[in-house]
């Protein structure tokens, strides 16, 4: 959970250096920052509009980082990776000295235990829902991307690398 909160805090600092983009609806500042944080971890931000009829459906994705005119925003992809890596190093150091490299990598991969649940809850909370006149709109992180990329893949791979590097440096 510390890696998630640390990454979110650093993302907040980077994103709020300049004026946040405006959307066609009133999104809170924390929601927009959260969308950047998720987008930095390869999670698509989807805009879904549906009507009362099943055939009235529109969905598209927004890449906030690629569409940004600020050059420093491109570095957002690195922030979560660095924080998860550090989380893997710290977990490997606190879970005990692993005798083999695979055990050290497994220790570092435990970052997924805290990262996965909070990323799924965060994706739901950060979604903006608007409903009026039979039309419902939702903007927020895609849940499947959140589960696969942000919740599982990045913490397992990058956390494992952190644990492995800790083992190599300690040997």
**Number of domains within the chain:** 1
| Among 71, 25, 18, residue whose Cα is nearest residue 48 | 25
| Pairwise CA distance, residues 93 & 40, whole Å | 27
Full-model pTM: 0.89
| Pairwise CA distance, residues 7 & 3, whole Å | 6
* Tokens matching residue 32: 């927009």
Q: Report yes or no: 46 and 142 within 8 Å, Cβ to Cβ.
A: yes
* Tokens matching residue 92: 């490997």
- The phi, psi pair for 57, rounded to 5°, reads -145, 130
* pLDDT attached to residue 51: 79
Q: What's the longest Cα–Cα distance across the chain?
A: 65
* pLDDT attached to residue 165: 96
Rg, the chain, Cα only: 18
For 15, the domain range is: 2-170
* Tokens matching residue 118: 């909070």
* pLDDT attached to residue 79: 94
What is the block-wise mean pLDDT of the chain (171 residues), using blocks of 10 residues?
Answer: 93 83 73 94 90 72 85 89 97 86 94 97 93 84 96 98 95 80
* pLDDT attached to residue 23: 60
> Which residue in the block uniquely carries the two structure tokens 């809850």?
121
* pLDDT attached to residue 129: 84
């Amino acid at each position: 959970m510390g890696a998630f909160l640390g990454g979110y805090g650093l993302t907040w600092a980077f994103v709020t250096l300049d004026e946040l983009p405006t959307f066609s609806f009133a999104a809170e500042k924390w929601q927009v920052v959260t969308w950047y944080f998720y987008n930095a971890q390869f999670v698509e931000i989807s805009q879904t509009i549906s009507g009362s009829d099943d055939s009235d459906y529109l969905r598209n994705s927004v890449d906030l980082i690629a569409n940004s005119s600020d050059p420093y925003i491109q570095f957002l992809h690195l922030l979560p990776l660095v924080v998860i890596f550090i989380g893997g190093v710290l977990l490997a150091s606190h879970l005990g000295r692993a005798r083999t490299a695979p055990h050290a990598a497994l220790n570092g991969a435990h970052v997924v235990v805290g990262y996965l649940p909070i990323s799924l809850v965060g994706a739901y909370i950060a979604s903006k829902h608007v409903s009026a006149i039979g039309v419902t709109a939702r903007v927020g992180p895609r849940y499947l991307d959140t589960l696969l990329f942000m919740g599982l893949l990045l913490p397992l791979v990058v956390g494992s690398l952190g644990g492995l590097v800790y083992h190599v440096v300690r040997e």
